[in-house]
Structure 1
Amino acid sequence: MEQVSTYLPGILLAYSAFLLGIISPGPNILAVMGTSLSAGRREGVALASGVAFGSLTWATLTVLGLSAVLATYASALTAIKIAGGCYLLWLAYKSFKAAGTDGVIAADQMEGERISRSGYALRGYVIQMTNPKAALAWIAIVSLGMQQQAPLWVGAVIIAGTFALSLLIHVLYAILFSSPAAIRTYSKARRSIQTGLGCFFAFAGAKLIFSRT
């Protein structure tokens, strides 16, 4: 139990960073919204599932990669945390900037011929895996939960938890945002959401940069 209590705060912080990160619409969220609007709710859920499995892949690769690096170069943890912290501070800046601008959320309509649900799932996976910012985002998230000499179960818990959150949240987006009215309601709360995200990312980024372990 003592070992669990040692790593639990970092794991929960990693979960929080991931959860709040997917609240702010990016290419994957907009694709889920657009698919639900244009192709239907079930197709949106299929694409959301593909995005979630993309998150699972990124989380697994990041945890295994960081574990291998830290096993060989323990001092690398400091550099990794500084890099992850700087990325979170950049996200804070982007969130505060977005909160100060006008505009509404515009869901991307998925063009082209109608495809099978497995095709939508594959499309969601590709969207998530080809996101150029995903690697930095996952390094930041995993760094919040991984400490020096952390046991393997910590990485496994981070992987399992973020996958469950990704699947749940993206499927909820597919279900809730299958109507234009839902997107308009979300847009009205955009500034408050972005401000809250900015505050959290600033806190998490500073914590990563100035943490000693």
Structure 2
Amino acid sequence: MTELHLYLPGILLAYAALLVGLISPGPAFMALMGVSLGEGRRAGRYFALGIGSGSFCIGAITLSGLSALLVAYADAMFAIRIAGGCYLLWMAFKALRSAFRPAPADARAENGPLRAPAHYFSRGLALHLTNPKAILTWIAIISIGLQPGAPLWVGLIIVAGCGAISTVIHLFYATAFSTRPVIAVYRRMARWINGFLGVFFAAIGVKLLFSR
């Protein structure tokens, strides 16, 4: 650890690259917004923890070099794209179905009682693990932060730090999207928001399915 100052610029650059990606709305951001608005803070936070755990997993896999093999072998990446595309299309179907339903007095009424935490956690985890963009982003992050010849602990710091940042940021989003003022807006515009989410997920899902 005495050499930390030698690798600190790369580590901080990797963190900065992750933050830029988190600020840019993507499938995880939009899905978390929908869950937090429609099913509340508790559901959103468990969904966020699933996303954060997925980030840790992909980071660890990238550090081990396995994700580079996924990129090298087209069949593996093709399978990931198909799985991710189908999952996003399923989310699009659910969002569009909600958009065309009569709006309930409580925006969460149509969802019934909140499900078990594992349900939301697994949804967030599945979304992140089937997102090819997340894998490619992690490859870029490790490439930026891990200099040739750097010791393993540098990569572990990058993975741990980026995973923690991803988790904290998504927990913040879950909290922000489940505040009363935001929920009040959602109740007035639930159909439009769900319709937008449905179109967004469908577009990204179709793009994944037909991309080469």
State the TM-score, normalizing by the size of structure 2. Answer: 0.62
Q: Which runs of 5+ in 2 are unaligned?
A: 70-93, 99-110, 186-212
Name 1:24's counterpart in structure 2.
24
Report % sequence identity.
48
Name 2:86's counterpart in structure 1.
none
- 1:12 aligned partner, one-letter code: L
Name 1:52's counterpart in structure 2.
52
Compute the RMSD of aligned alpha carbons.
2.7
Residues 20-66 of structure 1: CA deviation (Å, up to 9, x unaligned) = 21111111011111101101111000000000000000100001117
Tell me how far apart the structure 2 counterparts of residues 58 and 16 of structure 1 sit (CA, whole Å).
18
Name 2:106's counterpart in structure 1.
none
2:56 aligned with 1:33, yes or no? no
Could you tell me how far 1:174 is from its partner in structure 2?
A: 0.1
Residues 141-176 of structure 1: CA deviation (Å, up to 9, x unaligned) = 111111111101001100110111011000000000
On the 8 A contact 1:51/1:125 being kept in 2, the answer is: yes
2:105 aligned with 1:139, yes or no? no
Q: 1:2 to 1:116 in 2, by over 3 A?
A: closer
Tell me how far apart the structure 1 counterparts of residues 175 and 131 of structure 2 sit (CA, whole Å).
23
Tell me how far apart the structure 2 counterparts of residues 127 and 116 of structure 1 sit (CA, whole Å).
18
Could you tell me how far 1:115 is from its partner in structure 2?
A: 2.7
Moved over 6 A (4+): 110-113
Tell me how far apart the structure 1 counterparts of residues 180 and 26 of structure 2 sit (CA, whole Å).
18
On the 8 A contact 1:38/1:109 being kept in 2, the answer is: no
Q: Which runs of 5+ in 1 are unaligned?
A: 70-107, 185-213
Query: May I ask how many residue pairs the two structures share in their alignment?
Result: 146
Name 2:75's counterpart in structure 1.
none
Task: Identify the range of structure 1 (110-119 vs 31-40) with the bigger mean alpha-carbon deviation.
Answer: 110-119
- 2:122 aligned partner, one-letter code: L
Give the secondary-structure state (helix, strand or coil) at the position aligned to 2:42.
Answer: helix
Name 1:167's counterpart in structure 2.
167
On the 8 A contact 1:50/1:124 being kept in 2, the answer is: yes
Name 2:177's counterpart in structure 1.
177
State the TM-score, normalizing by the size of structure 1. Answer: 0.62
Could you tell me how far 1:18 is from its partner in structure 2?
A: 0.4
2:173 aligned with 1:150, yes or no? no
Give the secondary-structure state (helix, strand or coil) at the position aligned to 2:149.
Answer: coil
